[in-house]
Structure 1
Amino acid sequence: MMYDWGNSAYSIIITTAVFPLFYKSVASNAGIANSDSTAYLGYAVAFATFIIAMIGPILGALADYEGLKKKFFFTFFAIGSLSTASLAFVPEGNGTLLLVFYAITAVGFHGANIFYDAFLVDVTPEKRMDQVSARGFGLGYIGSTIPFIISIALIMLADKGVIPLATGFAMKLAFVITAIWWIVFTVPMLKYVVQIHSIPRDPDVNIIKGSFVRLGRTFKDIRKYRHVFLFLVAYFFYIDGVGTIISMSTAYGTDLGISATTLLIILFVTQVVAAPFAIIYGRLSQKFTGKKMLYVGIFVYIIVCIYAFFMKTETDFWILAMLVATSQGGIQALSRSYFAKLVPKEKANEFFGFYNIFGKFASVMGPLLVGVTSQMTGHSSYGVFSLVVLFIVGIIVLRFVPEPDQVRI
Structure 2
Amino acid sequence: MQTAPRKVINAWCMYDWANSAYNLVITSTIFPAYFEGVTKNRMPDNEIEFLGRRFVNTALYNYALGTAFIVVAFIIPILTSIADYRGNKRNFMRFFCTMGAIFCCLLYFFAPEYVPENANRLSSTSLTIGIFCMVLSCIGFWGSLVFYNSFLPDLVPHNQRDRISARGYTWGYIGSVILQILCFIVVFFPESFGFHSKFDKDFMPARISFVLVGLWWFGFAQIPFRYLPINTMKERRELKNVFSNGFLELKKVWTQLKHMRVLKLFLVSFFWYSAGIQTVFLAATQFGAKELHLPTDKLIITIMIIQLVAIPGAIIISRASERFGNIQTLMTVVLIWIGACIGAYYTYTDIQFYILGAVVGLVMGGIQSLSRSTYSNLMPETKDTASFFSFYDVTEKVALVIGMFTFAFIEEQTIHFGGMRNSVLALMFFFMLGFVWLGLTMSALKKAQKQSSGTAQG
- With normalisation by structure 1, the TM-score equals 0.88
Contact 1:122 1:195 in 2 (8 A): no
Which residue of structure 2 lines up, in the alignment, with residue 79 of structure 1?
Answer: 99
- 1:127-154: CA deviations, max 9, x gaps? 1111111121122112111111111221
Contact 1:237 1:390 in 2 (8 A): yes
- In structure 2, the CA distance between the partners of 1:101 and 1:241, relative to structure 1 (3 Å rule), is closer
Which residue of structure 1 lines up, in the alignment, with residue 130 of structure 2?
Answer: 98
- 1:112 and 2:151 equivalent? no
- In structure 2, the CA distance between the partners of 1:32 and 1:188, relative to structure 1 (3 Å rule), is farther
Code of the residue aligned with 1:319 in structure 2: it is I
The Cα shift of 1:208 comes to 2.5
- 1:181-233: CA deviations, max 9, x gaps? 11232122112221579995445653332211122233345422443332111
- 1:210-266: CA deviations, max 9, x gaps? 211122233345422443332111011111121232223234333234333211111
Between the aligned residues of both structures, percent identity stands at: 31
- 1:11 and 2:23 equivalent? yes
- 1:216 and 2:251 equivalent? yes
- 1:389 and 2:429 equivalent? yes
- In structure 2, the CA distance between the partners of 1:321 and 1:201, relative to structure 1 (3 Å rule), is same
- In structure 2, the CA distance between the partners of 1:217 and 1:303, relative to structure 1 (3 Å rule), is same
Code of the residue aligned with 1:391 in structure 2: it is F
Contact 1:122 1:197 in 2 (8 A): no
Which residue of structure 2 lines up, in the alignment, with residue 131 of structure 1?
Answer: 163
CA RMSD in angstroms, aligned pairs only: 3.1
The Cα shift of 1:372 comes to 3.7
1: CA distance, partners of 2:348 / 2:232: 52
- 1:140 and 2:169 equivalent? no
2: CA distance, partners of 1:61 / 1:80: 21
- 1:362 and 2:399 equivalent? yes
1:201-350 residue pairs with structure 2 within 5 A? 201-203=236-238, 206-254=241-289, 255-344=291-380, 345-350=382-387
Contact 2:67 2:401 in 1 (8 A): no
Contact 1:197 1:346 in 2 (8 A): no
- In structure 2, the CA distance between the partners of 1:82 and 1:231, relative to structure 1 (3 Å rule), is same
Code of the residue aligned with 2:244 in structure 1: it is K
The Cα shift of 1:53 comes to 0.7
- In structure 2, the CA distance between the partners of 1:140 and 1:364, relative to structure 1 (3 Å rule), is same
- In structure 2, the CA distance between the partners of 1:201 and 1:142, relative to structure 1 (3 Å rule), is closer
1: CA distance, partners of 2:390 / 2:256: 17
The alignment partner of 1:64 has SS state of: helix
- 1:352 and 2:364 equivalent? no
1: CA distance, partners of 2:282 / 2:177: 18
Q: Which of 70, 75, 84 is 2:90 aligned to? A: 70
The answer to which of 139-148 and 246-255 deviates more is 246-255
Code of the residue aligned with 1:231 in structure 2: it is F
1: CA distance, partners of 2:231 / 2:189: 48
The answer to which of 231-240 and 284-293 deviates more is 284-293
Code of the residue aligned with 2:14 in structure 1: it is M
- 1:38-76: CA deviations, max 9, x gaps? 454344323322111101111111111253111111111
The Cα shift of 1:10 comes to 0.4
The Cα shift of 1:369 comes to 5.1
Which residue of structure 2 lines up, in the alignment, with residue 34 of structure 1?
Answer: 46
Which residue of structure 1 lines up, in the alignment, with residue 194 of structure 2?
Answer: 164
2: CA distance, partners of 1:109 / 1:346: 24
2: CA distance, partners of 1:242 / 1:90: 28
Contact 1:78 1:108 in 2 (8 A): yes
Which residue of structure 2 lines up, in the alignment, with residue 48 of structure 1?
Answer: 68
- In structure 2, the CA distance between the partners of 1:29 and 1:177, relative to structure 1 (3 Å rule), is farther
- In structure 2, the CA distance between the partners of 1:386 and 1:38, relative to structure 1 (3 Å rule), is closer
- With normalisation by structure 2, the TM-score equals 0.79
Code of the residue aligned with 2:434 in structure 1: it is G
1: CA distance, partners of 2:111 / 2:296: 26
- In structure 2, the CA distance between the partners of 1:173 and 1:377, relative to structure 1 (3 Å rule), is closer
Code of the residue aligned with 1:348 in structure 2: it is T
Gaps of 5+ in 1: none
Contact 1:201 1:207 in 2 (8 A): no
Code of the residue aligned with 1:272 in structure 2: it is L
Contact 2:186 2:205 in 1 (8 A): yes
2: CA distance, partners of 1:334 / 1:28: 39
- 1:58 and 2:90 equivalent? no
1: CA distance, partners of 2:439 / 2:107: 44
- 1:378 and 2:417 equivalent? yes
Contact 2:337 2:431 in 1 (8 A): yes
Code of the residue aligned with 2:31 in structure 1: it is F
- 1:319-358: CA deviations, max 9, x gaps? 2111111111100111111111222332221122222222
- In structure 2, the CA distance between the partners of 1:221 and 1:117, relative to structure 1 (3 Å rule), is closer
2: CA distance, partners of 1:121 / 1:239: 21
- 1:151-197: CA deviations, max 9, x gaps? 12212212xx3541223332222122112211232122112221579
Q: Which of 157, 171, 180 is 2:215 aligned to? A: 180
2: CA distance, partners of 1:67 / 1:293: 35
